[in-house]
Structure 1
Amino acid sequence: MAEEELQMEEGGKKSKLMIIIIAVVVLIIGGGAAYYFLMGSEEPAPVVEDGAAVAGSEGTDNAASANTSLVKTGTALYVAMPRPFTFNAPGATRDRYVEIKVQLMMRGSDNEEQVKMHIPLIEGTLLTSFSTANADDLATEAGKTAIRANALKEVQRIMADLTGNQIVEEVLFTGFVMQ
């Protein structure tokens, strides 16, 4: 009976050793794969601006120099409008209640200060721009893109009149509710 217990203990040690060896092999393979994917390429990824690759590795010198003017410099800063814009939008079948939360993107702390100083005028301009929208158009992605582009154009026009520069680079919808 003592010999049977001794044989069972040796079999248990072998299975534990096999499990440990398999776990170590899996960890080594996983670590190698993680290193490969995280540190694999020394070449920088191309910057995409408006759907075109800028200064990519496949581009010629002429294409790269022509497209570098598209790259915006400086840190992007965001100014949130203090209140969401709420308005009624007329539709073909019924009117809809719309609430839009907006942030403005610009570059440079001087531009951020200019935008913060003129928030009441920007809010009025955005509300005027949004209130011309149709509920049927706002129900589609193309309609949302169009109203955002129109709002950007109007804000840039107002800021150009005030400061001489367009300052605002993007009008971003951070919340959009239509009932």
Structure 2
Amino acid sequence: MMKIRVFRFIATCLLFGGVLSPSFAQDKATYAYLGLEPDIVTNYVGQSARKLGYVRVTVELMINDVDNLEVAEHHMPLLRATAIEIFGRQPEEKVKSLTGREDIRRAILKALQDHMRQETGGEVVKNVIFTKYLYQG
């Protein structure tokens, strides 16, 4: 069973002297978080062709609207496969560095957004978050 966590965020909420800004009611944004479960576990390319490393990552997708949660769940196999494919193409240096990790996260986000745009005609995935990131190589 996929774990789904829904949170409501206030996009901008300014509190001045105990009074909320007048735009408070209009600036609400509702995001949902959907975990790619189980964790992504895959190989990456090591320094030599004979050596492979592996990475285990817990990935949470920030869905741009609670109403799109079912759409994202429906496309979960595509979303998982895309993340696994991108990790599998990464060189060891990228997997092990903080800047490389951020590059991988951005590549996954862009690919997921492109796939969802092709499949649904809209942006469903707002962000990708790594909550656990382990590698061995």
Name the TM tier (shorter chain): 0.7 to 0.9
Larger Rg: 1
Question: If each structure's helix is expressed as a fraction of its own residues, which one has the higher value?
Answer: 1
Paired residues, what number?
Answer: 112
With normalisation by structure 2, the TM-score equals: 0.74
CA distance in 1, matches of 2:93, 2:46: 6
- Deviation for aligned residue 1:42: 2.2
Q: Spell out structure 1 runs of 4+ moving beyond 6 A.
A: none
1:84 aligns with 2:39: yes
> Could you tell me whether the CA contact under 8 Å between 2:31 and 2:66 is conserved in 1?
no
Which structure has more relative contact order (CA 8 Å, sep 6+)? It is: 2
- Aligned partner of 1:142 among 99, 108, 130: 99
Mapped partners of 1:178, 1:155: distance in 2:
22
Question: Which residue identity does 1:95 align to in structure 2?
Answer: L
Q: Say which of 159, 163, 166 aligns to 2:120.
A: 163
The structural deviation recorded for 1:163 is: 0.5
Q: What CA distance in whole angstroms lies between the structure 1 residues aligned with 2:126 and 2:86?
A: 17
Q: Deviations over 1:69-119 (max 9, x none)?
A: xxx851221000121111111222643211111010022222111101110
Aligned letter for 1:137? Answer: K
Letter in structure 2 aligned against 1:98: V
Structure 1 spans left out of the alignment, 5+ residues = 1-40, 45-71
State the AA in 1 paired with 2:54: Y
1:154 equivalent to 2:129? Answer: no
Equivalent position of 2:55 in the other structure: 98
Alpha-carbon spacing, 1:43–1:133, altered in 2? closer, same or farther (3 Å): farther
Amino acid at match of 1:152: L
Q: State the alpha-carbon separation in 1 of the partners of residues 69 and 82 from structure 2.
A: 18
Across the aligned residues of Structure 1 and Structure 2, the Cα RMSD in angstroms comes to 1.9
The answer on whether the counterparts of 2:64 and 2:123 sit within 8 Å (CA) in structure 1 is no
Q: Distance in 1 between matches of 2:64 and 2:81?
A: 22
Any unmatched runs of 5+ in structure 2?
A: 1-15, 20-26
Match of 1:53 in 2: none
Map of 1:132 onto structure 2:
89
Q: How does 1:50-61 map to 2 (within 5 A)?
A: none
- Report the residue type matching 1:116 in the other structure: E
Q: Percent identity?
A: 28
